[in-house]
Structure 1
Amino acid sequence: MGRAGDELLGRVMGVVAREGLGDRSLRDVAAQAGTSHRMLLYHFGSRAGLVAAIVARMEADQVRLLRGLATGAESPQQLIRALWEELTRPEVLPFVRLFLETVALTSRGPSEDLTTPWVDATAELAVRWDVEVDPAVTRLGVAVVRGLLVDVLGGGSIPDATEALERYLSSLPEPPLQRSGTKR
């Protein structure tokens, strides 16, 4: 997708993050984003293509965020806490809602693997931190965070979900981290 498609996708994501996607027509979404449904079809091929592009963009943005947050984290647990804080900010929650809505829409047919990029990014970070990470534990962590986000968006409280996340994190071994050849 070119620059124009990227910019259009950003506008569409802003609209549907505020108002939801649901069964809204492409015409309605396009009008709200200041474009035409034909432009959406040109860039994304179909409604399903638009939904897939939203999911792909959001996942890529979140994995990028994870990598950025890792620079200040002293442990995997601190990294997960920092990510949780970011994902539960009031201005970010509409995009989390949009992500979960679009994932639900893509689950009706073949879709992209949305967890492997997190497993891969975690493996890269583990090498940098000189720790071993079990891919199954990473998948479990992704599932826990996503499940707690569903809880929050479904009416649960952020403090209660954060407490549950802390309980999960306390069950994980905190590996000693090695950086620059010295133990921390």
Structure 2
Amino acid sequence: MARNTARREELAAQATDYALNHGLIGLSLRPLAAEIGTSDRMLLYHFASKDDLVATMLRISNDRSVQAVRALPRSRSVRAAVLDLWRVSTSEESDLCHRMYVEAAALGLLGREPYVSVVREANEHWVGALADHLVAAGCTRTRVERAVTLLDAAFMGLQLDLPLDPDESKRKRVVSDLADAIATIAQS
């Protein structure tokens, strides 16, 4: 049984890499399986269904984003923490992970099971990592929920607009303004 668990984890990681590079939209088990060196039947042997596989890929993708946040060194201030979090959130790997989340939403997966539970859990881990980083930088626990709600919503909106707005200087100004706003919330 342990071998099957290890194989399932290996297939899940490979499938996640595939989906991060090819997307969830139009995902078909046969091309996925061929790319990772197995068959669609073996995928269904290790995963109860395509939904189970996709839910697992969403978990792994989110875990990677959370790990990137948790790997950040402590920021010197709340304002700097926002800028550091933006930098890690827009890194190539984290950006791909966020795009997978957006694709899942676009496909309507996030409103039905098993995705509702997976995304709820993933969001709790993501927001927890953001909150912990802000608290370590000086935000109080009483203010962090408000700060993280604004931060998470703003990051999602900005990341959705990234491919549409090539003006890097405008985006830097907006992220700087966001950092100022979060720092104000943390101090008030």
Same fold by TM (over 0.5)? yes
| Gapped regions of structure 1 (runs ≥ 5) | 177-184
How high is the TM-score relative to the length of structure 1? 0.78
Q: Quick one: structure 1 residues 36 and 150, their matched pair in 2 at CA, closer, same or farther if it must change by over 3 Å?
A: same
* Aligned match of 1:101: 103
Q: Quick one: structure 1 residues 74 and 108, their matched pair in 2 at CA, closer, same or farther if it must change by over 3 Å?
A: same
* Aligned match of 2:27: 24
CA distance in 1, matches of 2:157, 2:130: 19
Q: Quick one: structure 1 residues 20 and 119, their matched pair in 2 at CA, closer, same or farther if it must change by over 3 Å?
A: closer
| Gapped regions of structure 2 (runs ≥ 5) | none
Question: What residue identity is the alignment partner of 1:53?
Answer: T
Report the 3-state secondary structure (helix = DSSP H, G, I; strand = E; otherwise coil) of the residue aligned with 1:81.
helix
- Alignment partner of 1:145 out of 124, 144, 155: 155
- Shift of residue 75 of structure 1? 2.3
* Aligned match of 1:180: none
CA distance in 2, matches of 1:48, 1:99: 14
Question: What residue identity is the alignment partner of 1:115?
Answer: N
What percentage of aligned pairs have identical amino acids? Answer: 26
- Shift of residue 161 of structure 1? 3.0
* CA root-mean-square deviation: 2.7
* Aligned match of 1:120: 128
Report the 3-state secondary structure (helix = DSSP H, G, I; strand = E; otherwise coil) of the residue aligned with 1:41.
helix
Question: What residue identity is the alignment partner of 2:145?
Answer: P
1:1-184 alignment, distance < 5 Å = 2-69=5-72, 71-90=73-92, 92-105=94-107, 106-110=109-113, 111=116, 112-113=119-120, 114-125=122-133, 128-129=136-137, 131-132=139-140, 133-153=143-163, 155-157=164-166, 159=168, 160-173=170-183
Q: Quick one: structure 1 residues 167 and 6, their matched pair in 2 at CA, closer, same or farther if it must change by over 3 Å?
A: same
Aligned residues, how many?
A: 174
